[in-house]
Amino acid sequence: METMQIAPARLCGSIRVPSSKSLAHRAVIAASLCQGKSVLRGVDLNDDVRATLAGMQALGAQAAWQEGRLAVQGLHAGERAQGDCLIDCNESGSTLRFLIPLALALWGEATTFIGRGNLGKRPLDPFFEIMRAQGLPFSHEGDPLCLKVRGPLQSGKFALRGDISSQFLTGLLFALPLLQGDSDIELTTPLQSAGYVELTLDVLRDFGIKVVPTPGGYHVPGGQHYCAGSYAVEGDYSQAAFFLVAGALGSDVAVQGLRADSHQGDRLVMDILQRMGAQFNWTGDALQCRAPQGLRGTRIDAAQCPDIIPPLAVAAALACGRTEVVNAGRLRIKECDRLSAIAHELGALGAHITEQPDSLIIDGVASLSGGRAFSHQDHRIAMMLAIAATRCDKPVLLQEPGCVSKSYGNFYEDYQKVGGVCGR
């Protein structure tokens, strides 16, 4: 088992975080659905985005790098392709849930989705209910993932739960404009991670697609065409969150590449850290976070921002007082059981964390001790532990550190660039 030693060191300097993984998924899909060539700027091809790009290529799009930009030749969505199709989602839940409706809408024969890790444990029931209602055949094996579906998806009325994952809604919003008739989506429960849906609507609008919000959901006119063009992907708040937390804990890091008016749901990291006592300063597109008086505990609702709970758990572990992380059950079905991993691994470093079925109770301590910790082969747990190491008394011995390639392949290089001390 590979081990990396990360020594205690405060960070100082400036880094540019990767482009938003959430927006990159959406831009790649939208560009692939155009009848023409689009140029995407600022795309970082981490493992998850590679899976989405490969999936859209399997459906008929073409892509190539041109002068540091991703040029995408869209598929001809007016004609259903023929022959069986295989889409390897790797460990990307976004790829799986975004592309299932598109495969049903675009592909003439069977489509097989495969994946690895915990992907087969991710719920897919909302799509199964739609396929049953329309009489579409499918088969599903969960471990490892093997899902076979066959269209054609028909326009109409779709009842969809909003409290499992917004990814189901995004998948439908991409596919329904391509169908001949109009469609209506009715949300049967409150929508979680609503910020991610706003990102989807932003991208659809930028590529010429009209979606009309209704009191209970969305009206999607059919027969629309995606319009090719140029698109720039902004920096990722979910990755920036790790370095912003480091700043709140005493480091001096400027995070570049972010938009102050972003609709990314993980921009909530700023609101939460401000409630904990942090202050923010913008200089152009560079954001700095400091907490001159230290951090204090607060209540964090994970329903709208599950991906930033790992770095926020580090902030809470070193804050004064108690922090409660609630509505966090979805963290159990990520790349690993993140609730358990956060509690166990930060606890191994000296944090005081109580794990509950869908929440964490974190009582802050003055510093962490360091020691051996395991990434659980989860990119966000690995990065969480690296940030925790900045406030440890002894080095952190991180097992299986390489999983950061899923979303932030250059994380350790950037970490070292701003003074982090790590090595295998």
CB-based contacts of 54, cutoff 8 Å, min separation 6:
87, 88
Q: Kindly tell me the sign of the dihedral angle through the C-alpha atoms of 154, 113, 234, 274.
A: positive
125 is in an annotated binding site: no
**The token pair that represents 59 in the structure block:** 């459906």
**Packed helices 379-389 and 309-317: angle between N→C axes, nearest 10 degrees:** 30
Run of H or E including 360: strand 359-363
406 is in an annotated binding site: yes
How far CA 424 is from CA of 69, 401, 417, in Å, comes to: 32, 9, 16
93 is in an annotated binding site: yes
20 is in an annotated binding site: no
DSSP per-residue codes, 335-357 = SS-HHHHHHHHHHHTT-EEEEET
22 is in an annotated binding site: yes
How far CA 422 is from CA of 36, 110, 315, 368, 415, in Å, comes to: 45, 47, 21, 17, 8
350 is in an annotated binding site: no
94 is in an annotated binding site: no
- H helix and E strand count, the chain: 12, 24
Does residue 4 contact residue 398 with C-beta atoms inside 8 Å?
A: yes
**Catalytic residue from among 48, 236, 307, 378:** 307
Whether 301 sits among the annotated catalytic residues: the reply is: no
Does residue 86 contact residue 58 with C-beta atoms inside 8 Å?
A: yes
Does residue 103 contact residue 85 with C-beta atoms inside 8 Å?
A: yes
338 is in an annotated binding site: yes
32 is in an annotated binding site: no
CB-based contacts of 400, cutoff 8 Å, min separation 6:
1, 2, 374, 375, 376, 377, 382
CB-based contacts of 26, cutoff 8 Å, min separation 6:
98, 170, 174, 199, 200, 203
Does residue 334 contact residue 92 with C-beta atoms inside 8 Å?
A: no
Rg of the chain in Å (alpha carbons): 21
334 is in an annotated binding site: yes
259 is in an annotated binding site: no
Does residue 221 contact residue 210 with C-beta atoms inside 8 Å?
A: yes
Would you list which residues are annotated within the binding site? Answer: 21-22, 26, 93, 122, 165-167, 193, 307, 334, 338, 380, 406
Would you list which residues are annotated within the binding site for 3-phosphoshikimate? Answer: 21-22, 26, 165-167, 193, 307, 334
* Residues with active-site annotation: 307
Would you list which residues are annotated within the binding site for phosphoenolpyruvate? Answer: 21, 93, 122, 167, 338, 380, 406
